[in-house]
Structure formats: structure tokens, C-alpha cells
A and B are shown apart, each in its own frame.
Chain A
Amino acid sequence: MILLKLISWPYVRRHLPRWLLTIAGIVLGVAVFVGIHTANQSVVYAFHQTVDRIAGSTQLQISAGETGFDENVLDRVQAVPQVRVAVPVIEAVVSTGVQGQGNLLILGVDMTGDRSLRDYDLDSGDEAVDDPLVFLAQPDSLMVTDTYARENHLRPGAKVPMSTMDGQKLFTIRGVMKSGGLTSAFGGNLAVMDVYAAQKVFGRGRKFDRIDLALKDGANLEDVKGKLEALLGTGFQVQVPSARAQQFDSISRVYTLTANVTSVFALFIGMFIIYNTFQIAVTQRRSEIGILRALGATRRQIRTLFLGESVVAGLFGSILGLLAGIAIARGMTGYIGSLLGEIFGIAQKADEISTNPALMIFAVVLGVIASVVAAIIPARSAARVDPVQALQKGKYQQLSAGENRARRIAALIIAILAAACLLLERYRIFFYVGDALALLSALLLTPTFAHLLARALRPLLRWLRPVEGTLAADSLLQAPRRTSGAVAALMLSLALVVALGGLTRASYDSIFGWLSVALNPDLFISPSQSLTQRDFRFPESMGPQLRAIPGIGDVQLVRDARVEIQGKPTMFVAADVADLRRHATLPPVAGNTEEMFRLAAEGQAVLASENFAMLRGFKLGDVVDIPSPSGMLHLPIAGIVTDYSDEQGSLLIDRALYKRYWNDNTVNVFRIYLSPGASEGAVKRQILAEFGAQRRLFVLTNREVRRYILRLTDQWFGITYVQIAVAVLVAVLGIVNTLTVSITDRRRELGVLQAVGGLRNQVRGTIWLEALAVGTVGLILGLALGALQLYYSLHISAEDMAGLRLRYEYPYPIALWLLPGILLVAFLSAIAPAETAVRGSLVEALEYE
């Protein structure tokens, strides 16, 4: 502590801007980690809270994925002796005509029994519903929370417009729930209506989404759960309410994983900046270290001093990062919430961030550890400083040839091990270890490559500006430690940019391909503007009515829903497979086109999307066990096709088979193929004229659907752009840091240059060229490492994240953009340090001379 106060603190005060730049890496890493995680967690927490609040005193919930189930299941459940109360539920999110209020979560319940589970009017003596009989008798009855009523100036009797399956309708507020419990679900944007009215409003037919139940006193939860599972069969899930919330966690897993990668990478790159600064600090403070050593300080004390500094820097940086992260989370929560809602169609409303103390502590610890780890090597170097050499002014420690050789040999061995891991890549752990080893090898070789490249650049720099260029190149060659950290940070950042950019580009290419070839209907009729929202459904009878419209050549009826397969929510697409075959143009990834469509059309097989097969480990011919309300279906995979319907993979089955096993003839989307020569606009107008008034429907053209999917894709890759931005920012920080350190380090040298007649512009030019040289070296190494990282990224994406095999294609356009971009950034980063160098006191700089 005393050494920190006496030695470190004055140094920090003298070099405050540099010290702040040093911790910027940690600030950024922790901020991104806390920001993304907190935002993500807030969304997940909001969903958990909504589920929890809605559950009330529910002990078990029965569902059959998103497909719902017949009403008679309720009678069977209610007949179980241990069940005290079992009530049906329909849940849907709708957008109302009330401005600025976003979506409203509608809970359809049977009010006669539901009060045993949910508290509607709480401890108030007054009724929440003015007249329960009128509430039940009138299907337009709504009961809203007092928050919603207050915010929208709604009183009992007020009308709320809502789009129903029968077109736009006005609903009447017939009850207001008092604050607390249930009413805080979905951020208070909650409305309750009669479950049977909800069936009609949302086109559910005679089905319920869920049954909520509570047990009689003394009944054992696990026993009753088992009994209900045996009674209802494999197509039903009997779960405690919290399990439903966990499904969300499972679905948003990929997103969380991506967020983790971003933040860890930011921290990782930040470590190099810390390493760089500490390494320079050791060089700069060698005389100070020499004096301390001469006065009797042990090597251990010197090491502890530097590590202590890194702890303080890490702590300070982490706390700043924490605050910045919370600010980021505030901005991102709404974005992530709407993104997950749109992509997965899951109801949640996250307005406020929920901070997790454990996460905060973890982030601070992570920041401190990153800082300490980055400082280990410089601290060790400091401890090894020879007091005699250190006290000889002007003598710099150079990297020894032995040290370089040892590093190169280690890098080579590690590279061989990384290559060996690729041979064992089917064991995923080896693949990841291989990636880490490849990175490590590249990092160890960075000083060598940086040196070689600097030497190669010397003639070019000299040709550009004989004096300034030579000085800049020599500066890089003579002080490899000063630049290697910045070069490594830049290399890693750019490698990340190339890998992510390449991955994004490959994904877009693949999605474009699928959109242009497979997604070929001319029009789509959906009950919701968002194609991922499945709360509203059409009756099957609309199909023939649509076919009768002039200009319509073919109509495909599609029902998609998430069902649980192997305990994981899986998207199910039920369509007339024979009809799909007529319009299918994309060759399968695996399987014989004719055979697979024939088997699937006969209901003897399923077609799996490529990502389903990859993520779940299924191959062509494997049998998938599909639980349905009518029993378990065992169907082989007859073909594997490219399909982007769902981010976690999908299964396509024939709709006739689906109807038989799920007893569900509703439709989510009608896919319309126009007759030759028919006008898209005219048919769209005709559909709207015929159904617009009586049905809730949106007619989307192929172009609009493509735009919608691309918008979702853009949103999904939004986090990738954040990653890229963070990577570039860290790289810039690295360059600024290096140059700042370099200027301070070379004050005497630059002072001498000016003293012997060097012009200010020559000094500026030297620093600018040095920055450009660092940028060029980092750029070359980064683009090369990026090529390798892209390979790993594509594999990770295919095997573990998206399940899509994407073509390896080096993102040359990105590389071409990076070239001038990074050089410009390097130049801009050099302006301030260059000005500091030329405006500093010459007397101070030449003090020693």
C-alpha cells in the first residue's frame, strides 16, 4: 500500500490521460458485458415476471406447445381427484388502437373458477367487474389494470379498439383491476376477458392454450404431475409455471451466447491495451525500479507493486464500466425485448432494467482479473530489472534473441496442436480448444511478424518521406514491446471484424438465396403484421373462398406452431406437402427430392430444416419422436432442406397428418400463387374487399415479406454490429494508447530532433507515419488472422449456434473498406499525440542532455 501511494500514485498523476486510456479497455469490456447482459436479463426477467404474476397460485400448467388442445381435456383434468381447481387459459398479445401504449397482453380466463387461482380485485371490497353477468354475456368485455386505465384515461364503459379475427371491433372496459400481483404482469399492459370470447376473438376454435391448476391440500405435486402426464399422454406438457419461463431462456440461448462472446472479446482485447501500457511503464520506470531495487526492494515487492497497480486500474475501470453498462442496458432493453418478441413471438414487456448484484460483482471481478492477467508479464519483467543496468540512463532493455526464439518455438508447437485439434473437430471441445490455440499461436507470433512487417515497410516509408519515414520505421523496429501490444489488439479487433463480417455476409447471402428461390408465393395472408406472431388464426374455410377469387392460381394453407420435441421448443410447419412440391425449386441439402416429398405427402415422414438437423444431431433417415395430443408420432426424416422459418430449426409435415393428430384445422398463413398474368395489386385489393371488413388480415406481397425477413435479420445481426463497433473502438484505443506512450517515451529523441533543426512538421510527420505503420501492420495481421477466424466462426455457427452450413467466402469488400478506414483511424489517432509532441517544452525534453 505504501509503495502504491509513494511510487505508483505520483506516476499515475503525472500520466493521468495515459492511465485513463489504459483502463478504457477494461471500461469498455465491462460496460459491454454488463450492458448486454443486464439488458438481456431484464427482458428474460420481464418474461419470468409476467409468467409468475399471471400464474398466481397456479401449481401446475398443462399445455401442448403452441398448438393448444381440445376443450374436453379440461373435463379430464378436473376429474382428477387431487385437483382442487383447473381452469382454461388463452393468452395472446394484441396491439390496440390506443396510441403510444404498445401491445396489450390478453388473458382469456373462465371467470367462474379462475378467481381461485388469480387475484383480480385483491383486498378491495369493491368488485373489479361492475357486473360479472354482463361481463360474461358480452364478448366485448375487457377488464384492464388500473395502471393501464389511468394512463389511457379509460373508465368503465370506455371503448378500446382491437383487431379481432372478425375485423376491427370495439371492446368495452367492464372492470378495472386494482394494483398489485397479477396487474403488474406485462408491465401492467394486461387485460382479462372471458376465455370463450377469447376463442372467438383469436380464432382458436374450441381449443384452449393452457390449463392452470391448483391441487387439493395434502396432494403431492410430483405425484399429480406424473398422474396427469400418464392421463394426457406425451403430447402434453405438465409443468410448474416457472418451467414455462425457462423455455424463453432456452429459446434466447443463442442471443445470450452472442452477447457473451461480444463482451468477453471486448475484455480480451482490452487486456492487450493494459498489457501494452504496463509493459511501456516498466520500460519507462526502469530507473525508478532500479533505485527501489538498489534500496533493498525485493523482486517480489516490485512484482506486487505492479500487480497492485493493475488491481487498482482494473477496479477503477470495472466500476466505471459498470456505470456505463447500466446506461447501455437502459438504452438496449427495449430493443432486445422487441427483437426477441418479434423473432420468437414470445410475450414479454421489458420497460425497466433489472440489475443483478451477482452479475455486477462478477463483472467487477472479471475486469480486475483481466487487468491483473494483462499485467502479469510486465510485472514479471519489472521484477527482473537489473538495478545496475536500470540506473544507467538512456539504456533501454530490448527483447533478447533468446526470448524471441522461445516464443517462436512455443507458437509453432501451439500451431501444430491447433491443427491437430482440427482433426478431432467432431468432438466439439477439441474444436474450441483448437480455436483458442490458433489465437494464442497468432498472439505469440505477433512481435515477430510485427518486426518483419516493420522492416518490410521501412523502404516504403523512407520512399514516402526520407527522414520522417526512416525515423518512424526505426521507432517501431527498436521498441517492439511498445508496439506489439497495440498491434496485437488491432490484429484481434480486425480479425473479429473480418470473422463477424464474413459470417454476416455469408448468412445474408444464404438468406437471400432462400428468399429468392424458396420463398416464392406472390402474396401472403397473415392475421398479424408480424409473421412470427401466432396468436391469431384463420379458419380453414377461408381457403376455398380465397381460391374462388379471380386471379388466384393456388392457395397453400400453412399452420406453424412451436411444439416441444426432446424437451426443446421446436417450430412445426404443417402444409400440404404435395402442393409445396409443385412450387419447390430449391434442391434439398440431403435426400431425394421426389422420394422425400412423396413420403412426407403420404404422412410417412417429415422434412427437417438444415438447422434442426445440425443443432439436434439428426441425419437423413433418423426417426424423430414427435409428441402430439393424440399420441407419439414416430416419423423418419425423409429430406433435409434449407429453411429459415425458425432460428432454432423447423420440421415440415403434411397438414392432413397434423390435423389428424392435433385436431387443429386452423391456419396461420395463406400462401397465394397468382394465375399467369394476374395483377398482384388487383388480387390484393380483391382479397381485402372480400375479407377486410369481416376478418383481421394483412395481405403482404412477396416483396414486403422479404423486406420483413431482412429487417428481422438486420435486427438479429444488430448485436454483431455492436461487436464490430466495439472491436474497432478498442483497436482505436490501442493505437491512441501506443502513440501516446510512444511520444512520452521518445520525448528526448524528438526534442533532440527539434534541437538539431528538425521542423515541427517533420516531427508531426514522423508520428503520423508511425501511426500509419502500426495501422498497416495491424491491418495485415488482422486480415490474415480474420481469414482463419472466419473458418472457425462458420463452423461454430453451423454446429452450435444457427445450425446452418454457410459457404466460406473471404469478405473482400469488408477488407477493402477496412484498409482506408483503419489507416484513417490510425492517422486521426495520431493527431493529438503529434500535437503534444511538437508543443512540449524543448528544455524539459533535453533536460538530460
Chain B
Amino acid sequence: MNRLIHLNRLIGTLLLLCSLASAQYDFSLQIMDESENRSRAGTQQYEGTLEVITASNKVSVKHWKYRRIGSNGASKAILRFTAPAEVKGVALLIVNHTDRSSDQWMWTPAIARDRRIAAQDRSTRFFGTDFSFEDLEERDIDQFDYKFQDEESIGGLACWKIESKPKQSVSSQYTSSMLWIRKDNYLAAQIENYSSSGAHNGLSPVRSDKLVRRIRYSDIQNVGGIWTPRTVEVYDATRKSRTVLKLEKLEYNVPMKDEDFTLEALRHG
């Protein structure tokens, strides 16, 4: 769960880890586990406002509706654009798996066609935003190895700094990620994703890794008992552009049906 949108799943507390914090033990996995547990919800839906600010300060705004069923990496989600008019109806179905990368399909209503987003294309930008397709995945924490790094403050909030690396069997564009998990509510305050053109997956830090994206979470609110960041800001270090996602009308555990998360449902949205 070192990825982006579902950072609400990082919400939670891990009291046990507090007591272990002083011990000589790498408790990063427990922190992540607790973070995942705290964000767990059977379903989730919200209306998102997406603002893309380019390096030359050109701003474009889009809106989407997001619905998810399932959790802990075994989930399905549909994201459907609602505005502006030119993109209305364009949708993305994400089927996450606990043991591998997700499957994704995009629906384009103007030509009534769905297209599969190939695994090789997950590293590409998600339709001009600063998210990549991979950033939209929800991955189980077991797909990563974690290593406690330090304790650091982000915006005056005390955090654990944890390094995560995808396991050998997992494909990812990122060589490693650095997560700052808030001590007060186990929510991620910031994630930095790194990449290198060379080999990865080893546990030792790769010095040549380059920062690809930085994600910051703010505007934390408790919704239905789950602490959730209502604003997510992604910074693309290469392009020097930003994307700000604001979550509105956020709800958890709303009744949803599995059949609403199929290719058929995507087409008939």
C-alpha cells in the first residue's frame, strides 16, 4: 500500500508498535500492517476533483466519481470522469490482486471501446495527470519488503520513515519508496517514489535511485471512523508539474455489488 490514492487505508493506529518503538527491532512491517488495518473498509466512494498544474502553471481541472469494493489488495475499483464534457464517461476499471499487478481497462464512450492497459504501460502517466497507472493500484503490503529508516517530522507531525521495496516477484516501475507514516493516526503523510534504470529489489539502498514522484497527504478527516486525507498532492520531479486530488462526498461501507465492477459494467456505466 505504498501507492497513492488509497492512502486512506494507511489510516489507523498501531499501539503495539509504540511499545516496540524503543526496542532494537525492525517494526516497520507492523506499522504498515496496522496502517492497512486502520484504513480497511468494505467499500468506498467519493467524487474527486483533479487539478493538474503544469511546470508553466497551466491548470486543467477534471472531475471523477470513484467507487471501490474490497480491500487489502483484493479489491476492484471503477473511476469514471464526469467533467469536463469532452472526457465525460471515460472510465477506468482496476482489478487488484494480492499476488501480482492489477488488471486495468479503459472505456472510451465516444468510440464505444474498451482497451486493456498493458502491464508494460503501468509506468506511463495516467491521462496527463502526474499519477501513473501503477499509482492507481491498490497493492497488498505483503508484496513489499520494509525497512525502518528513521523518525522524522513532516509539517510538524512526528512520523516514522520507512523504506519499501517491491519483492522479487513483483513488477514495479519504482525501485524503492520512502514512506513517512504519522505516529498519531498511522496515516501516510508523505511518500517519495524512486526509480533507477538498473536492477532493483535488493534490500540495500540503491544510491543511484532518482526521485520520480513525491506524494503529500493533507486535510485529514475522520469519515465513518476512518481517518482519511481529503487532499492528495503529487509532484512529478521530472516534469516539475503537480496534480492535486480533492476527495469530496467521501463515504465508506456503502452497499455495492460485485457485478458493478466488471467489464460489462464499465461499458454500460
Contact = CB atoms under 8 A, between A and B. Distances in A.
Interface of A: 74-75, 78, 83-86, 110, 112-113, 115-116, 125-127, 129, 131-134, 136-139, 194, 196-197, 199-200
17 contacts: A75-B118, A78-B118, A113-B120, A113-B124, A115-B124, A125-B56, A126-B54, A127-B54, A133-B127, A133-B128, A136-B127, A137-B86, A137-B108, A137-B109, A139-B108, A199-B113, A200-B113
B110 A138 contact: yes
Contacts of A133: 62, 81, 87, 90, 127-128
B100 interface: no
Given A125-B55, A139-B111, A132 B125 contact: yes
Contacts, number: 77
Contact of B87 (A134, A194, A196, A197): A134
B239 A197 contact: no
Contacts of A129: 128
B119 A78 contact: yes
Contact of A78 (B87, B109, B120): B120
Given A129-B128, A196-B115, A136 B120 contact: no
Contacts of A197: 111
Interface string B75-119: 000000100101101100000000000000010111101011111
B60 interface: yes
Contacts of A125: 55-56, 239-240
Contact of B90 (A75, A110, A136): A136
A5 B113 CA distance: 81
B81 A113 contact: no
A209 to B, nearest CB: 16
Contacts of A127: 54, 128
Given A137-B87, A196-B108, 14 more contacts: A84-B120, A85-B121, A112-B118, A113-B120, A113-B121, A113-B124, A116-B120, A125-B55, A126-B56, A133-B81, A136-B90, A137-B89, A137-B109, A139-B108
A83 B116 CA distance: 17
Contact of A131 (B56, B118, B128, B239): B128
Contacts of A199: 113
Contacts of A132: 125, 127-128
Contacts of A196: 108, 111, 113, 115
Contacts of A110: 115, 121
Contacts of B116: 75
Interface of B: 54-56, 60, 62, 81, 84, 86-87, 89-90, 106, 108-111, 113, 115-121, 124-125, 127-128, 133, 239-240
Contact of A138 (B86, B106, B127): B86
B124 to A, nearest CB: 5
A200 B111 contact: yes
A557 to B, nearest CB: 25
Contact of B108 (A113, A131, A136): A136
Nearest to B56: A126
B120 A85 contact: yes
A138 B119 CA distance: 24
A29 to B, nearest CB: 56
A139 B120 contact: no
Contacts of B87: 133-134, 137
A124 B60 CA distance: 20
A156 to B, nearest CB: 12
Nearest to A113: B121
Nearest to A72: B116
Nearest to A77: B118
A54 B17 CA distance: 56
A670 to B, nearest CB: 25
A139 B90 CA distance: 12
Contacts of B62: 133
Contacts of A75: 116, 118
B239 to A, nearest CB: 7
A228 to B, nearest CB: 15
A747 B151 CA distance: 113
B103 to A, nearest CB: 11
A624 B121 CA distance: 41
Contacts of A139: 108, 110-111
Given A127-B54, A134-B86, A138-B86, A86 B111 contact: no
Nearest to B90: A137
Which residue among A110, A115, A116, A131 has the maximum number of chain B CB atoms within 10 Å of its CB? Answer: A131
A136 B56 CA distance: 23
Contacts of A200: 111, 113
Contacts of B127: 132-133, 136
A132 B121 CA distance: 15
Nearest to B60: A131
Nearest to B113: A196
Given A136-B90, A137-B86, A137-B90, A112 B108 contact: no
Contacts of B133: 112
Contacts of A78: 118-120
A110 B117 CA distance: 10
B205 to A, nearest CB: 22
A113 B106 CA distance: 13
A83 B171 CA distance: 14
Nearest to A135: B128
B262 to A, nearest CB: 18
B100 to A, nearest CB: 13
A127 B52 CA distance: 13
B132 to A, nearest CB: 10
B49 to A, nearest CB: 14
B90 to A, nearest CB: 5
Contacts of A194: 108
By Cβ-Cβ distance, the 8 closest A-B pairs, closest first, are A133-B127, A132-B128, A113-B121, A137-B87, A112-B121, A134-B86, A196-B113, A137-B90
A134 B89 CA distance: 11
A448 to B, nearest CB: 78
Nearest to A85: B120
Contacts of B239: 125
Contacts of B106: 112, 136
A383 B161 CA distance: 100
A146 to B, nearest CB: 18
A86 B120 contact: yes
A85 B125 CA distance: 15
A116 B125 CA distance: 12
B90 A112 contact: no
A124 to B, nearest CB: 11
Contacts of B109: 137
Contacts of B84: 134
A92 to B, nearest CB: 16
Contacts of A112: 106, 117-118, 121, 124, 133
Given A133-B128, A136-B127, A113 B60 contact: no
Contacts of A86: 118, 120
A127 B240 CA distance: 12
Contacts of A137: 81, 86-87, 89-90, 108-110
Which residue among A136, A137, A196 has the maximum number of chain B CB atoms within 10 Å of its CB? Answer: A137
A10 B240 CA distance: 77
Contacts of B54: 126-127
B108 to A, nearest CB: 6
Nearest to A201: B111
Which residue among B89, B109, B120, B133 has the maximum number of chain A CB atoms within 10 Å of its CB? Answer: B120
B135 to A, nearest CB: 14
A356 to B, nearest CB: 39
B93 to A, nearest CB: 15
A740 B116 CA distance: 79
A202 to B, nearest CB: 13
Nearest to B198: A217
Contacts of A83: 120
A197 B111 CA distance: 7
Contacts of A116: 120, 124
B241 to A, nearest CB: 9
A126 to B, nearest CB: 7
